[in-house]
A = this chain, B = another copy of it.
Amino acid sequence: MDEKATEISSLGEFGLIDLLTRDFPLRNASSLKGVGDDCAVMEYKDSEVLVSTDLLVEGIHFDLTYVPLKHLGYKAAVVNFSDIYAMNGHPRQITVSLAISRRFTVEHMEELYAGIRLACDIYGVDLVGGDTTSSRSGLVISITAIGDAPKDRIVYRSGAKDTDLICVSGDLGAAYMGLQLLEREKVASAGQKDFIPQFGGKEYLIERQLKPEARRDVIENLAKHGIVPTSMMDISDGLSSELLHICKASDVGCRVYEDRIPIDYQTALMAEELNMNLVTAAMNGGEDYELLFTVPLHAHEEIKKIPGVKVIGHVTKPSLGAYLVTRDGAEIPIRAQGWNPLAG
């Protein structure tokens, strides 16, 4: 990656922006004006506007010893798209701001933008703006995603009702196990040249950590089957934490069944290898970017038709609290042990 190294200061801010943003076409009708003026301009006459923003800091959210810059760009974009899908909307635009320290070259930034471009291509999103500046230490990425949804289809965290079914897409805990694996190999590789990490049979975990996808397919399938969830969010901090958010926002309780939590076999094998509690990892792991949502009981038959979605429990009256029901029928209070980005 360091074969060619062009100093960023040789291009200047506007030269760098021109270079990085030149391959981004505007393909959404709502994108009227992209990069190159004081503001991006959009038109959202027929729907509401959804906005989500994320700040990613090197050393806190990502470790460039094992995260390739292209993957980082892809993930940074996709996790923001995920927030738009989590409202039952569709992402249409993003802005990308970067603070870059001196150790990065123009070629590094092109790698990062190659990942952002790939995510934009796959999800049909337009890059419309941003800001580029220098940093005293490390890389900082700030992404804002803009999307749309008709008013009567927007799903908040606050609409879950007693007896609703609780659903999740995909499987949980794999991204967390991928991180454990990457950290383990990083420690093992310390000081060794030509170290070959041991990822055989664990590719899925690595992919879930380094190149997550947002669940557009689930949002499209919900629409196809005429289902509007009563509440929804994406699972970024771990299922436990997100369940408690929905319970608090909706003023409800919940019962989630341990034997219903979807877990991939690679996740299970890795937990055993690391001597970790599998359910704890799946409940609190984070970074899965799956969708957690609730639907009315009568939607049960329709929900079963959506690939990759599983009913894991049900909503209760608030007085009944939020509990995980174990395989032997014991009830364990759900606690947010999600990752605390402010403890770093």
Chain A residues proximal to chain B, CB less than 8 Å: 8-9, 11-13, 16, 32-33, 36-45, 48-55, 57-61, 83-84, 86-87, 89, 93, 95, 97-100, 128-138, 140, 142, 144, 146-147, 151, 154, 156-158, 233-234, 249, 340-344
Contacts and interface: CB of A to CB of B under 8 A. Distances in A.
Contacts of A84: 38-39
A149 to B, nearest CB: 8
A39 B50 contact: yes
Given A132-B342, A234-B38, A54 B97 contact: yes
Contact of A99 (B9, B60, B86): B60
A135 B50 contact: no
Contacts of A12: 340, 342
B51 A128 contact: yes
Contacts of A58: 136
Contacts of A43: 48-49, 151
Given A33-B156, A41-B87, A57-B135, A142 B97 contact: yes
A86 B343 contact: no
A242 to B, nearest CB: 10
Given A137-B136, A341-B134, A342-B8, A147 B39 contact: yes
Contacts of A93: 51
Contact of A83 (B38, B99, B133, B249): B38
Number of this chain's copies in the complex: 2
Nearest to A82: B38
Q: Give 4 closest A-B pairs by Cβ, nearest first.
A: A142-B142, A134-B344, A55-B97, A38-B86
A38 B93 CA distance: 16
Contact of A135 (B16, B53, B60): B60
Nearest to A132: B342
A50 B31 CA distance: 10
A151 B43 CA distance: 9
Chain B CB within 10 A, most for which of A12, A57, A147, A156:
A57
B49 A42 contact: yes
- Chain B CB within 10 A, most for which of A59, A129, A342: A342
A38 B87 contact: yes
A36 B55 CA distance: 17
A233 B342 CA distance: 37
Given A55-B131, A61-B133, A342-B134, A99 B140 contact: yes
A51 to B, nearest CB: 5
Contact of A53 (B8, B131, B154): B131
A51 B146 contact: yes
Nearest to A147: B39
Which one of A45, A98, A142 has the highest number of Cβ atoms from chain B below 10 Å of its Cβ?
A142
A45 B40 CA distance: 17
Contact of A233 (B33, B38, B54, B134): B38
A53 B233 CA distance: 25
A233 B154 CA distance: 35
Given A44-B49, A133-B342, A341-B134, A39 B86 contact: yes
